[in-house]
Structure 1
Amino acid sequence: MAVGKEIARKIHDLVDRDMTFMHICGTHEAAIARHGIRSVLPEQLKIVMGPGCPVCITPQGEIDAALELVDRDCIVATYGDLLRVPGSRGSLESSGGDVRVVQGVHKAVDIARSTEKEVVFVSVGFETTAPTVAATLLTRPPDNFSILSCHRLVPPAMKWLLEQGEASLHGFMLPGHVCTVTGYADYEQFPVPQVVAGFEPDDILLGLLMLVQQVREGAHRIDNAYPRAVCREGNRKAMDLMYQVFEPSDVEWRGFPVIPGSGLKLRPEFSMYDAQIKFGIEFKHVDKHTACICDKVLRGIAQPDDCKLFGKVCTPRTPVGPCMVSHEGACKIWHTYQLKKA
């Protein structure tokens, strides 16, 4: 704690102008909220949330596709966070179908081996989870198993955010979990201050200090404040596995338009495991029809309590948007820790 106080003091000494940094990791937001990190920062320094929750950025059309699989009498398996995300006509939890919570893709394969019914794993996540799914598909699961690929890649979303310039960002705190797998070489394309940070309070404060120092220097580089877990090259074996099975695709993100090369689809040689091909299902765009502002929260231009539904109509028990569902969702985090806008 003494180290954290010293880092916070240095941040106060250096911040002499407005600075806004975005993190792209739901775990970072949870740690920032849980430890009250915003309360020890100077008023001129703002940390905003980005599209760092894989459940939150899954668009409504992909939830509707999963519900269609339920209608086809498939066993649908996925992570618990996805169950209550609203689709156009309810959620997986309220669908009345055979929907099962699993800890990973391997558990979904176990279900397929124990039944003759079709089993579909709704496969969400960034580069952190995709290599595990790829490795599992390389073991050639049974014919009644397939995946609905809802994976996303982080760098294309960052590129889109920078091109829009909506949030007037001065730098990024890169996602530590993702960078453990990918490394950070792909982020060197962005001419803004960036820091890879871990998830302890001291890690986050150190990352912010490094970002502030870059802004003061007029520099833009990637500093690694998480060297115990992350290196520039990342886990090449995991990345090679991922690209052996998946290839980039153009996909929509919730709150974003279609972002080129930001998704992962199965390569043709693995098409027998592609639930979209197997069942003839399309991901359709769905227009927003509620006052929910999850889209703005995910783009860093609003905070959860800017939403007039927050904590009233929209709560963890009655979520209107996905950011109130997932444990990595900003709205649920803010609701849990009773945060209010400064």
Structure 2
Amino acid sequence: MNLIDEFRDKQSILALKKLIEKEIKSSINIMEICGGHTHSIMKYALPSILPKEINFIHGPGCPVCVMPRNRIDIAIKLASMKDNIFCTLGDLLRVPGSDFSLIDLRAKGADVRALYSPLEILEIAQENPNKNIIFFAIGFETTTPMSALLLEKVIELNLKNVFFHINHITVPAPIEAIMDDENVQINAFLGPSHVSVITGFEIYKPIATKFKTPIAVSGFEPVDIMESVLNIVKQINKGTFEVYNQYKRAVSEKGNIKAQNLVTKYFEPCDFEFRGLGIIKNSGLRLREDFSDFDANKRFDCTVLSKNESKGCICGQILRGLAKPYDCKVFGKACTPRSPIGSCMVSGEGACAAYYKYSKVNA
């Protein structure tokens, strides 16, 4: 099987388009949870291919986008401390804090490093024994096992200069919070693919049942998304609300049990504040008490006083599915990828970044 060309085949896409047009009976609002899906939808101009009754709504599946300003300011404070080497994933560096970003701080001389892999920390720590290495860990269930593995390696190597600031979050909790909103107008979901490789697709079954909402776990290619939309349309016509695993080539019902066990060994659930959604109970993770010696929150003063978000930015509404990037007055004007005001314009998974990049391509 050719995992690229076959899933971008024009004839397959047009055949699925005809099937969807034949089946569609009413308007359907579909929230794609994952920011990667948003970029695929815009890159391949799927809204212009699909019937006008299909409306995509962008969800809180971009881990950089949902980081609240308070946590960005904590990152900046940790990075500015003497004798600290601050390490994190690249997109976070450009998210504006209350006064400036991590990349601005790096320009002023702070040792701020963007990682390709968390395991790079091991070499950095060994090369800098007199420095504190801060790993600002972010991401949904996809990246959490990598942080757990890093901690395991740090313990095995007896490294005493590595500290973790954990900002890992989970998918189901914010989706429930969105669906509990009285203003919600979501009829179905495209379930995240990479997250589901780790978690399995069964974790979405309670959401589908509770809210009577079909969920299609979809791959990123245009044929994947079109197949998922077709399944959603058929489910809505039948009045069913099941979890459909379109991404069978990578996702199973139970997921990666070994990775799940590794996460459970080192982390436990905690409440977490999402940008735009507020504090959601048990939506995040923190280090278990047994590993508190590695907790940056306990080793360093992480208290900050953050400013309010820019009034011109509507990232919070976009992440809740209540607005689209074009609804923002500063989109593409004061807010661009070169000078972002909000996090949704920064990340490679951000909805605003997708609209800015691909709407011009597909115009």
What TM bracket, shorter-length normalisation?
over 0.9
Matching of residue 173 in structure 1 with residue 190 in structure 2: yes
Match of 1:76 in 2: 86
- Residues 305 and 340 of structure 1 are in contact (CA less than 8 Å); yes or no, is this contact kept in structure 2? no
Q: 1:124 aligns with which of 134, 138, 156?
A: 138
Matching of residue 50 in structure 1 with residue 70 in structure 2: no
1:199-218 equivalence runs, <5 A? 199-218=220-239
1:285: Cα distance to partner? 6.7
Name the one with the larger helix percent.
2
- Residues 45 and 362 of structure 2 are in contact (CA less than 8 Å); yes or no, is this contact kept in structure 1? no
For these two proteins, the number of residue pairs brought into alignment is: 342
Instruction: For residue 109 of structure 1, give the secondary structure of its aligned residue in structure 2.
Output: helix
1:215: Cα distance to partner? 0.6
Identity %: 38
Q: 1:91 aligns with which of 97, 101, 120?
A: 101
Instruction: For residue 264 of structure 2, give the secondary structure of its aligned residue in structure 1.
Output: helix
Deviations 1:88-125 (A, max 9, x none): 11000001211011112111232111111111011110
Match of 1:29 in 2: 38
Distance 1:183 1:75 in 2: 35
- Residues 217 and 228 of structure 2 are in contact (CA less than 8 Å); yes or no, is this contact kept in structure 1? yes
Matching of residue 272 in structure 1 with residue 293 in structure 2: yes
Q: 1:303 aligns with which of 314, 324, 340?
A: 324
1:80: Cα distance to partner? 1.2
Distance 2:362 2:275 in 1: 23
Match of 2:25 in 1: 16
Match of 2:244 in 1: 223
Instruction: For residue 338 of structure 1, give the secondary structure of its aligned residue in structure 2.
Output: helix
Rate the CA distance shift 1:110–1:297 in 2: closer, same or farther, 3 A: same
Q: State the AA in 1 paired with 2:46.
A: I
Distance 1:119 1:175 in 2: 32
Deviations 1:129-166 (A, max 9, x none): 00111011112151111111111100001110111143
Provide the TM-score with structure 1 as the length reference.
0.97
Instruction: For residue 123 of structure 2, give the secondary structure of its aligned residue in structure 1.
Output: helix
Instruction: For residue 51 of structure 2, give the secondary structure of its aligned residue in structure 1.
Output: coil
Q: 2:168 aligns with which of 138, 151, 154?
A: 151
1:286: Cα distance to partner? 5.2
Rate the CA distance shift 1:34–1:222 in 2: closer, same or farther, 3 A: same
Unaligned runs of 5+ in 1: none
Deviations 1:218-269 (A, max 9, x none): 0011011010100110001101101111111001001111000000100011
**Range with greater deviation from structure 2 (169-178 or 281-290):** 281-290
**Range with greater deviation from structure 2 (166-175 or 283-292):** 283-292
Distance 1:327 1:262 in 2: 23
**Range with greater deviation from structure 2 (84-93 or 70-79):** 70-79
Matching of residue 107 in structure 1 with residue 120 in structure 2: yes
Rate the CA distance shift 1:254–1:105 in 2: closer, same or farther, 3 A: same
Q: State the AA in 1 paired with 2:16.
A: I
Distance 1:36 1:161 in 2: 26
- Residues 253 and 259 of structure 1 are in contact (CA less than 8 Å); yes or no, is this contact kept in structure 2? yes
**Range with greater deviation from structure 2 (101-110 or 306-315):** 101-110
Distance 1:155 1:334 in 2: 25
Deviations 1:173-226 (A, max 9, x none): 100000001002221111211111001100000011111111111001101101
- Residues 249 and 260 of structure 1 are in contact (CA less than 8 Å); yes or no, is this contact kept in structure 2? yes
1:282: Cα distance to partner? 4.1
- Residues 82 and 326 of structure 1 are in contact (CA less than 8 Å); yes or no, is this contact kept in structure 2? yes
Q: State the AA in 1 paired with 2:192.
A: P
Unaligned runs of 5+ in 2: 1-9
Rate the CA distance shift 1:339–1:263 in 2: closer, same or farther, 3 A: farther
Instruction: For residue 138 of structure 1, give the secondary structure of its aligned residue in structure 2.
Output: helix
Distance 2:230 2:138 in 1: 32
Rate the CA distance shift 1:253–1:121 in 2: closer, same or farther, 3 A: same
Match of 2:199 in 1: 182
Matching of residue 288 in structure 1 with residue 301 in structure 2: no
- Residues 42 and 359 of structure 2 are in contact (CA less than 8 Å); yes or no, is this contact kept in structure 1? no
Matching of residue 65 in structure 1 with residue 82 in structure 2: no
- Residues 62 and 284 of structure 1 are in contact (CA less than 8 Å); yes or no, is this contact kept in structure 2? no
Match of 2:280 in 1: 259
Deviations 1:63-100 (A, max 9, x none): 10011112212111111111110011100000121101
Instruction: For residue 88 of structure 1, give the secondary structure of its aligned residue in structure 2.
Output: coil
Distance 1:282 1:8 in 2: 52
